[in-house]
Structure 1
Amino acid sequence: MSSIIIRGARLHNLKNVSLTLPKGKLIAFTGVSGSGKSTLAFDTLHQEAQRQYMESLGMVTYTSKPPVDSISGLSPSISVDQGLTNTSPRSTVGTATEVFTYLRVLYARIGHRPCPRCGKDVPPPYEGASNDVWDDDLDELPGPNGTPADPQATDDASVACPHCGARLPAMDMAMFSFNKPTGACPTCTGLGTIYSPDLSRLLDEDKGLLDGGVTSWEPSMIAWNAASLQAAGRHYGFDLDPARPIRELGPVQRDALLYGVLSDAFQRHYPGVEPPTTVAKGRFEGVVTTLLRRHAEHASDADYLAKIERFLILQTCPDCGGACLRPESRAVTVAGRHLVPLAAGDAHANEAASRLSLQAIAEWIDELRDVLPDAEWRIAEAVIVGLRERVRRLIEVGLGYLTLERATPSLSAGEGQRLRLAALLGSGLTGVLYVLDEPTIGLHPRDTSRLMRILRALRDAGNTVLVIEHDTEVIASADWVVDFGPGAGRDGGHIDAQGAPKEIAQTPASLTGRYLSGAAAISIPPQRRSSDGPFLTIHGAREHNLQDITVRIPLRATNGRGGMLVAVTGVSGSGKSSLLFDILDRAARQRHYGANTQPGAHAAISGWEHLDKIITINQAPIGRSTRSNAATYTDAFTPIRHAFAAQPAARALGLTARHFSFNVPGGRCERCEGAGVLAVSMHFLPDVLVRCPTCHARRFKREVLSVRYAHPDGRRKDDGSPRDTRGYDISQVLDMTIAEALTLFGDVPAARTRLALMVETGLSYLQLGQPASTFSGGEAQRVKLARELARRSTGRTLYLLDEPTTGLHPADIVHLLSLLQRLVDAGNTVVVIEHSLDVVKVADWVIDLGPEGGAAGGRIIAEGTPETVAATPSSHTGALLHRALSPTHAG
């Protein structure tokens, strides 16, 4: 069958959609946010493809069939969404892509190391070996489908130093793994960081022990701990006055207080003295020692860790310097290059393989043939061929600037998605349906053409590639386009147009078509704000790849015209996030809120006095709890609960606003505790969520649901259709979209303000009770933005936003820009990291970093108005901006 035929898709807001999709093509789903694209692509097509495939293999599946009459011609599908699959702090770009696995094999087979006795070089043991000798070892490498295989060497053979005869253990892959005890640094266990006490938070030096001088002690334990310390003093023969200020304690008393009587720090004062046998007799553990012990014991308890980490600082491991490996592993070299930095403060640390970008790794690999001896090349050739291929695919998807040691949790949604896309390129699969969610997220427009070549390569291999996209360049390059609309939520779910991009552009009913044809465009403001200062200036920024740059952010427009809208641009990896979030945001948190996270490397920041606060709104998840939603997060649900509590029926039953909350006992269903579902343990399989049999997924008790809220104004809605005069119960309200809730609660001022802001940020389609854990990165950011906008502004606030247009159709971007301009008009300054030229071209000031990513970036290429940047020949952003500002594209 040459087509995928869908009949009667009705999930969520889809309106009995039927359509035919050509197989073996590049298909773009587009439309305003919430129009039904993801519902059809992921929740219908991908889910049904998985279900059919699992059933064809006779395997048990707990995936229900989506509400659709039929889907025929469906292929096995693979989805690549925006989420990160691995959030472990041990996961890095090198381990996630298995590039580090290849390097571990390479260093284990042909690595040179110094002899621990004479210090001279010990070469690999089989320098004259042929490739046949190593065939079995090469089986350790990942296969073509990316399946990891890491069997550990069991040969106990040792290697003799050719100079002094000292015996060294044979090297294997485990020796170069920071996830295994044989390779990990013993101090930090391979994490590269350790927690150390923040004494400025832990101690109030001007107070005595009995007056609360140790801030981590519970009040009820102060007297007990002080008594134990005094008992230790009597045992060892030193005085300790618990009323004396801590800063006046001597070295002995201080070491006893901080590290305890069993610590080396204390016992050096009393060598040979037996410690006390009980706590009451003076066996005091020490404030710092207790904190670190409890931190290790409660590693899986996030809430408990949060309390303890207030008194701790995360620091680079002093022994390995963040390299994560033990000293013997760090000393090994291939062609004179270490796998990881040799030691903390190593002058050549950035030359280690793990510190190199993928682009630099590719260049080093190409040099190895010329620098390795023939014997070593014969051993390494097969490894290097596989390594080169993996690195090449990662560079192709635009990730060449990433370093191998970069932690995967720190990657953006777009970077994580392209990391998985690179793995798919080497799979060799055909006849597959690939479903991708906005693959251009976080990608500079300069690199879009390269991404399109990759998507076409997947298509040309015999696959169907379906992308959800808002980027007009991607849409125009697709073979087939399906435009959803016309609106969001219940106003969407229809197919406005489908066909080739040219046909969509000629369809008047298609909103996307109007942007493709140029009939609609985001306009450039007739007059930009200019600024002569004041400025917030970041001096000597050196974090990551930033090249000791000084950046000025204008805060006020001249002639009292409000604040400034500033765009920070540059190709992926050029240093934008390092500048705004690793340096500026962390420094602001430390200055204003006393955060213990250290800001990135920089000399100083001046101009704080011109700001009251800095608010950062990024794409990090709001929370993992299914109880948090857009209504509770923005506090729109509180006035709604009070509106229900004010109804005569609620008063008659004695119900208060508390009874209309699903988070606390009272009015919620106690069988499911207000969740509406129950988790059924499947033992070795993931838990299955089933509808609560008591409340039938309605979350509340029957008497609470008997209270209904009706719109106080008239019998008809704005569109003329009849209004439900019986009103709605609290469960029905949570099932409403934000736009519908705004209509219903238009006469409740506090609710109206917050709901209207969410509509303006492009979230009208979200259900009021939709769990925050299901939000995309862009949705989470816009919910945060709506919450901040609802707060009273001082007109002296700096807002930092990370790609706020993520997930937005051009028509939605118009509303977002209007909202940001209102913030600026009120005197605030808004700084956005942005790749969308629709935002950059309307900014008042642009700071363009580059010219490339990684080590080739980190410099200011241009700054000034968009017109100034567009006139800068060396700016990649400028070249594209010049076109966007031309009369035919300006709108």
Structure 2
Amino acid sequence: MSEQPCKTCNGRRLKQEALAVRLHTTTALGSAALPPPPTDAPADIAHYAVDTDERVTTELATVAAVEPSPIAAKSANGKTKAAKTKKGSTKAKDAPAANASPAATAGTDSALSTQNSPLLVLPGYSIDDVARLTVERAKTFFENLKLSEEGTKIAEPIVHEIAARLGFMVDVGLGYLSLSRKTGSLSGGEAQRIRLATQVGSGLVGVCYVLDEPTIGLHQRDNTRLIRTLLRLRDLGNTVLMVEHDEDCIRAADHLIDIGPGAGSHGGNVIAEGPMPAVLSQTQSTTVKYIVGELQIPVPESRRPVDPDKACIEIKGCRENNLKDVDVRIPLGGFVCVTGVSGSGKSTLVNQTLLPALKRKLYASKLKAGDHKTVNGIGKIDKVIEIDQSPIGRTPRSNPATYTGVFDEIRKAFTATREAKLRGYEAGRFSFNVKGGRCESCQGQGTKCIEMHFLPDVYVNCEVCHGARYNAETLQIHYRGKNIAEVLNMTTEEALGFFENIPPVYRMLKALNEVGLSYVKLGQPSTQLSGGEAQRVKLASELGKNPTGHTLYVLDEPTTGLHFADIQNLLNVLNRLADLGNTILVIEHNLDVVKCADWIIDMGPEGGEGGGRVVAEGTPEAVAKVTGSHTAEHLATKLLPTAVPLPVRSGRKGKPVASGT
């Protein structure tokens, strides 16, 4: 849903009375959204409120005098000292000329001073201006805020608390966020870290904090600061209970509990428990084997010969959000990884600009692409597939079997049985979405919803079918000794051997097992799958098909929620798709994935306004040598000590990618 500026204030947010408060500037920088004010007239605060925090900082830093509101001045001095100019605007009594240089005004109060009025807490910046600053810049603003003697007595404790809380947000890797950022646009990891920063600032003791993978979406550089924040919570007298796969967090823990040994029915046991030294001696734990180096995700022995000069998709002039008019080339026919610290512009480049632009060209999509000039090389791919972490269906009726299409083949297998033929049952009889074979009491859902006012809804098994979804007559039909409900209750691992004689089903089930979903049931409702599991179901669905060899697959942090062993399985699948001639474009922070890429595009160098540029690109060995890249600094430790280029793979399956434009 698109947003339109308010017709009353034209997007300025403030009433005319508030806009009457004006500021004198020594410069008259124009704005893309607002023409520059006249040189002989002060600018109202709306001139700054529609602009970026960088422009606000640049322009307001040169403000020589601040005109307090008549009400504030009258309250402070007993009368209004404002004098009217010929143009009808107000001007401070002792303000220097509008065209005075910064040097000439060096002895006067800056935009961060309140000498004119002790009641003017934020001179030079309106509250809207401050809200548009990033967390990191807002922290600097409050740390350098100059107040009068009286204002300091009143505001210093408040300003100190604000700066401290902003500092906590910087410590958990959120310095790039704007203070006015809408909560609905935050990722799950960002929202969780904001809540974490709030708790650190609260100073509570005796609290048990439970965190589920707080490192999601966090660059390796920020891991240390996050761990330091968690240790600070602990040192206050709290307990921090964390579900995490990140190696740095595991090593920093005081007490480890390793669950396994496998997933699903193969797990559920405590394999190792205790402080790190004690746990490291329990070698039956797969986690421990990866920690001590007995098992590891190896650097590939060779890399695919990708070359952006021969075959690539090139997007030019990207200017959306914080992107600085960048040109990016994505080489085709290999495994490409987009890296960078949080907020550096990765998602803006790929998800908001490149993907919509490709979909508009290939599928006539109505999606709006981020600001850019052109996209070249689209003719070298025949389709683009986004494999994200959104649910595989909107209702509990969707499940891995229906999404991957194997349920159609399973229903055909039941229809082909002798008993089904005698009764005249067709494939629709074994569907729980239409009348006929489903339980009408629960309409094929197997559960019933009990609405709890002011509490989450409660789901209970249907009292008629007891969760089977089908009526008694349908459940009397058996295929190899199992009815349709029992088949849907099988895990993909169990079903793999059960349907080995049906090639389409076997091929898709094998793909589901290869992506690490052996424990997931065929009929498991989509609402019970995590984002990472949903993403892997989509990946398996593509792997189980017959790839064309000219497909661009786009994945955003596919390692979310994955153990070391699962990451290895994921890499095997991605490499299989790339070996067929397809292009894999992945946004990722996990260095075990990054080091296995054929080509890296590193964004940065920082987040927010400090990012939006291509810092480094090339093979992992080449990127690891780049100075000024946070990714390179950490990647070098994961590669071979000498970081020498790896040999090119001798061959590749599938059709070669065409070169040229």
TM-score bracket, shorter-length normalisation: 0.7 to 0.9
SS at match of 1:429: coil
Q: Which amino acid aligns with 2:21?
A: P
Say if 1:606 and 1:375 are closer, same or farther in 2 by CA, change over 3 A: farther
Deviation for aligned residue 1:809: 1.0
Matches within 5 A, 1:857-872: 857-872=611-626
Q: Which amino acid aligns with 2:595?
A: K
SS at match of 2:413: helix
Corresponding residue for residue 650 of structure 1: 420
Select the residue among 589, 592, 613 that pairs with 2:359.
Answer: 589
- Residue pair 1:543, 1:600 contacting (<8 A) in 2 also: yes
* Pair 1:599-2:347 in alignment: no
Deviation for aligned residue 1:428: 3.0
Say if 1:397 and 1:124 are closer, same or farther in 2 by CA, change over 3 A: farther
- Residue pair 1:122, 1:161 contacting (<8 A) in 2 also: no
Corresponding residue for residue 494 of structure 2: 740
Corresponding residue for residue 459 of structure 1: 234
SS at match of 2:330: strand
Corresponding residue for residue 315 of structure 1: none
C-alpha distance in structure 1 between counterparts of 2:492 and 2:396, whole Å: 18
Say if 1:685 and 1:523 are closer, same or farther in 2 by CA, change over 3 A: closer
- Residue pair 1:128, 1:375 contacting (<8 A) in 2 also: no
Q: Which amino acid aligns with 1:831?
A: L
- Residue pair 1:112, 1:333 contacting (<8 A) in 2 also: no
Deviation for aligned residue 1:162: 5.9
- Residue pair 2:451, 2:457 contacting (<8 A) in 1 also: yes
Corresponding residue for residue 399 of structure 1: 174
Say if 1:483 and 1:887 are closer, same or farther in 2 by CA, change over 3 A: farther
C-alpha distance in structure 2 between counterparts of 1:380 and 1:415, whole Å: 30
Provide, for residues 268-309 of structure 1, a one-character-per-residue CA deviation record: whole Å limited to 9, x for no partner.
xxxxxxxxxxxxxxxxxxxxxxxxxxxxxxxxxxxxxxxxxx
* Pair 1:775-2:529 in alignment: yes
Corresponding residue for residue 276 of structure 1: none
Matches within 5 A, 1:17-416: 113-114=20-21, 123=69, 125-127=71-73, 334-340=122-128, 352-368=129-145, 370=146, 372=147, 380-381=155-156, 383-416=158-191
SS at match of 1:827: coil
Q: Which amino acid aligns with 1:335?
A: P
Q: Which amino acid aligns with 1:535?
A: C
* Pair 1:760-2:514 in alignment: yes
Say if 1:728 and 1:333 are closer, same or farther in 2 by CA, change over 3 A: farther
Provide, for residues 44-67 of structure 1, a one-character-per-residue CA deviation record: whole Å limited to 9, x for no partner.
xxxxxxxxxxxxxxxxxxxxxxxx
SS at match of 1:552: strand
C-alpha distance in structure 2 between counterparts of 1:408 and 1:775, whole Å: 24
* Pair 1:580-2:350 in alignment: yes
C-alpha distance in structure 2 between counterparts of 1:824 and 1:124, whole Å: 68
SS at match of 1:426: helix
* Pair 1:622-2:622 in alignment: no
Q: Which amino acid aligns with 2:586?
A: V
C-alpha distance in structure 1 between counterparts of 2:349 and 2:260, whole Å: 38
Say if 1:438 and 1:683 are closer, same or farther in 2 by CA, change over 3 A: closer
C-alpha distance in structure 2 between counterparts of 1:622 and 1:161, whole Å: 66
Corresponding residue for residue 627 of structure 2: 873
Deviation for aligned residue 1:506: 2.6
C-alpha distance in structure 1 between counterparts of 2:493 and 2:642, whole Å: 35
Aligned residues: 557
C-alpha distance in structure 2 between counterparts of 1:780 and 1:567, whole Å: 21
Corresponding residue for residue 548 of structure 1: 325
Select the residue among 518, 534, 538 that pairs with 2:315.
Answer: 538
SS at match of 2:379: helix
- Residue pair 2:393, 2:399 contacting (<8 A) in 1 also: no
Provide, for residues 456-491 of structure 1, a one-character-per-residue CA deviation record: whole Å limited to 9, x for no partner.
122222222221111122111111112222211111
Say if 1:619 and 1:411 are closer, same or farther in 2 by CA, change over 3 A: farther
C-alpha distance in structure 1 between counterparts of 2:417 and 2:552, whole Å: 41
Deviation for aligned residue 1:112: 7.5
Select the residue among 827, 831, 835 that pairs with 2:581.
Answer: 827
Corresponding residue for residue 32 of structure 2: none
SS at match of 1:690: strand
Q: Which amino acid aligns with 2:184?
A: P
Corresponding residue for residue 664 of structure 1: 434
SS at match of 1:572: coil
Q: Which amino acid aligns with 1:672?
A: C
Say if 1:416 and 1:387 are closer, same or farther in 2 by CA, change over 3 A: same
Deviation for aligned residue 1:836: 0.9
Deviation for aligned residue 1:685: 4.0
Q: Which amino acid aligns with 1:114?
A: V
C-alpha distance in structure 1 between counterparts of 2:206 and 2:158, whole Å: 30
Corresponding residue for residue 75 of structure 1: none
Say if 1:475 and 1:684 are closer, same or farther in 2 by CA, change over 3 A: closer
Deviation for aligned residue 1:544: 1.0
Say if 1:807 and 1:687 are closer, same or farther in 2 by CA, change over 3 A: closer
Q: Greater CA deviation, 731-740 or 693-702?
A: 731-740
SS at match of 1:538: strand
Deviation for aligned residue 1:762: 1.4
Select the residue among 182, 207, 220 that pairs with 1:445.
Answer: 220
Corresponding residue for residue 462 of structure 2: 692
C-alpha distance in structure 1 between counterparts of 2:612 and 2:447, whole Å: 49
SS at match of 2:350: helix
Select the residue among 246, 251, 275 that pairs with 1:476.
Answer: 251
Provide, for residues 300-348 of structure 1, a one-character-per-residue CA deviation record: whole Å limited to 9, x for no partner.
xxxxxxxxxxxxxxxxxxxxxxxxxxxxxxxx994223444xxxxxxxx
Corresponding residue for residue 569 of structure 2: 815
Deviation for aligned residue 1:867: 0.6
Say if 1:392 and 1:129 are closer, same or farther in 2 by CA, change over 3 A: farther
SS at match of 1:359: helix
C-alpha distance in structure 1 between counterparts of 2:413 and 2:423, whole Å: 15
SS at match of 1:467: strand
Deviation for aligned residue 1:834: 0.9
Corresponding residue for residue 527 of structure 1: 302
Corresponding residue for residue 701 of structure 1: 471
Corresponding residue for residue 488 of structure 1: 263
Provide, for residues 819-878 of structure 1, a one-character-per-residue CA deviation record: whole Å limited to 9, x for no partner.
111111111110111111111111111111111111111111111111111111211111
Deviation for aligned residue 1:161: 11
Deviation for aligned residue 1:529: 1.6
Q: Which amino acid aligns with 2:463?
A: P
SS at match of 1:655: coil
Say if 1:387 and 1:400 are closer, same or farther in 2 by CA, change over 3 A: same
Relative contact order, CA 8 A, sep 6+: which one is greater? 1
- Residue pair 1:754, 1:790 contacting (<8 A) in 2 also: yes
Deviation for aligned residue 1:887: 5.3
Deviation for aligned residue 1:780: 1.7
Corresponding residue for residue 676 of structure 1: 446
C-alpha distance in structure 2 between counterparts of 1:407 and 1:500, whole Å: 41
SS at match of 1:395: helix
Corresponding residue for residue 49 of structure 2: none
Corresponding residue for residue 336 of structure 2: 566
SS at match of 1:566: strand
Q: Which amino acid aligns with 1:125?
A: I
Deviation for aligned residue 1:122: 6.2
Provide, for residues 154-200 of structure 1, a one-character-per-residue CA deviation record: whole Å limited to 9, x for no partner.
xxxxx999668xxxxxxxxxxxxxxxxxxxxxxxxxxxxxxxxxxxx
The TM-score with structure 2 as length reference comes to 0.78
Any gaps of 5 or more consecutive residues in structure 2? 4-12, 23-41, 45-66, 85-119, 645-661
Say if 1:161 and 1:625 are closer, same or farther in 2 by CA, change over 3 A: farther
Deviation for aligned residue 1:373: 5.2
Deviation for aligned residue 1:502: 2.8
Q: Which amino acid aligns with 2:130?
A: A
C-alpha distance in structure 1 between counterparts of 2:613 and 2:583, whole Å: 23
SS at match of 1:640: helix
* Pair 1:849-2:603 in alignment: yes
What's the C-alpha RMSD, in Å, of the aligned pairs? 3.1
C-alpha distance in structure 1 between counterparts of 2:453 and 2:558, whole Å: 41
